A and B are shown apart, each in its own frame.
Chain A
Amino acid sequence: MEQILEVDKLNCIFNKGKKREVTALKSVSFSLGKGECLGIIGESGSGKSTVARIVTRLLSATNGSVMLEGDDLNNISKKELYKKIQMVFQTPVESFNPRLRIGVSVAESLKNAGYSTSETKERVANLLEECGLTSDYANRFPHELSGGECQRAAIARALAISPDILICDEATSSLDVTVQKEIIALLDNIRKAKGEDISIIFISHDIALVQAFCDRVIVMNKGEIVEMGDTDEVIKNPKDEYTKKLIASVL
């Protein structure tokens, strides 16, 4: 399989003043194939969001490299980068500016990419409908949406400029089980519709969801990758002690 994203030996150390260092990532390497869905699991604080933030250049790694389609991430302009890679944030409601209507937030990347007003409007309406909302949600404010609806709007926003890579950071963790299922079904539909054109990094601490949705999985513990492999394999025959515990605690 052709690789779209290659992450090599990422280290990330947060410096919080004198002698207070937090090592968030230790030599993290993995790759993402074209059209693949890669799960990242691990308990809270294991560094999952940090990986996502480095891959989207919201944060710079202390060292290590990330290659997107063979180019170093740092050599790609952010403008180009964000046409290729998008993220659904861990906190859906907070990821919308409280003072802007949903439609404006969803349209932001389109506007920046030079779409005309009428094109943008039509595309936003289509996106919202694709994501299981109606087009009049565009006129609502974030606080007028439920958590699940916000999550759908966030997915619509991330899909707006048809990225090649979609990162879902705990896209379902703040939702109840039935809504979780709907969101997963939505993501599944998107995958089916786009096929090879979209690769997904699915961050979660819910093993069952990852099992249902991901081709491969990475298990992280304290900033390190402790296990990596086909999802079913890893879950049926975990080799690492930590993975065993993690799976035992859920199943």
Chain B
Amino acid sequence: MMKKIDVKKKMIFFGILVVLLLLFSVFCDYLTPYDPNEQDLSIAKQAPSAEHLFGTDRYGRDMLSRVIVGSKASIFSTLLLVAIITVIGTIIGIICGLSGKVVDVVLMRIADIFLAFPGLVFALAIAGVLGGGLHNAIIALAAVSWPKFARLARSQTLAIKEEPYIEASKLAGTSTIKMVFKHILPNIIGPILVTGVLDIGTMMMELAGLSFLGLGAKPPIAEWGSMMSDNRSMLATQPWIVLTPGIAIFVSVMIFNLFGDTLRDFADPKSSRRK
């Protein structure tokens, strides 16, 4: 009992942090001390100071403002990506779990094919074919990431589809579609959501990774991964230009992961680690 309350408190704490982070990225345009795109070569590559807390980049743009504005592209594209793979994966998984052998086998083999590719490599290939850009990076990562959710939704569906309450609702004359929304989804969505939240961190890193490789956000869009990439040659000489977006990624990923962890512990008290 003690533990449950403890987990709940932690979850609320990290939940608030997540909400703050989201609010921050929604209102980021109003939070910047300087115009993030204004170039002033006379102050280029300045080290952090009271005036420019994170220093300036090679065009004299204020790094703090750029990192703040970068949260929009980084966080929203990540959330969009996670939402896409969760929804697509869940729909396909439920279809597999409910339908007969043929559909199930075909869809699951397709999922296996996507799973068999190393995620980033496949994403690289897709981004290479479709061209760079944040949209294509999201499509590429979505293509390799949905099978995990499909498998989860499928196994959850299989686990409950012969429960007496599902059969009872069949006897009540409930159609399959209604069955999914009324009985199946509410009983399998918990673990899927937890996995989704835990995936936000990973996906943020992968998106940043693609951007870092030049296949994600294109300048002048401020995005953390591409900010690091564009300036990576200056890591030795002006490290703040590379490190400040990196720290932003690190902090955001941490917040989402910690929230996901406590959410999982809350949803399933058995899995909570001993303190």
Interface residue ranges, A against B (CB under 8 Å): 56, 58, 78-79, 82-83, 86-87, 89-91, 94-100, 105, 108-109, 112-113, 154, 157-158, 160
Contacts and interface: CB of A to CB of B under 8 A. Distances in A.
B174 A105 contact: no
Contacts of B178: 112
Interface in B158-190: 163-165, 167-175, 178, 182-183, 186-187
Q: How large is the interface on B (under 10, 10 to 19, 20 to 34, 35 or more residues)?
A: 10 to 19
Given A91-B164, A94-B165, A95-B165, A82 B187 contact: no
Given A95-B164, A98-B165, A108-B169, 4 more contacts: A82-B173, A87-B171, A97-B169, A113-B173
Interface of B: 163-165, 167-175, 178, 182-183, 186-187
A87 B183 CA distance: 19
Contacts of B186: 97, 99
Contact of A96 (B168, B170, B173, B182): B168
Nearest to A96: B165
A191 B14 CA distance: 58
A94 B175 CA distance: 20
Contacts, number: 61
B166 to A, nearest CB: 8
B150 to A, nearest CB: 23
A113 B183 CA distance: 18
Contacts of A86: 171
Nearest to A85: B171
A213 to B, nearest CB: 22
A97 B183 CA distance: 7
Contacts of A97: 165, 169, 182-183, 186-187
A78 B168 contact: no
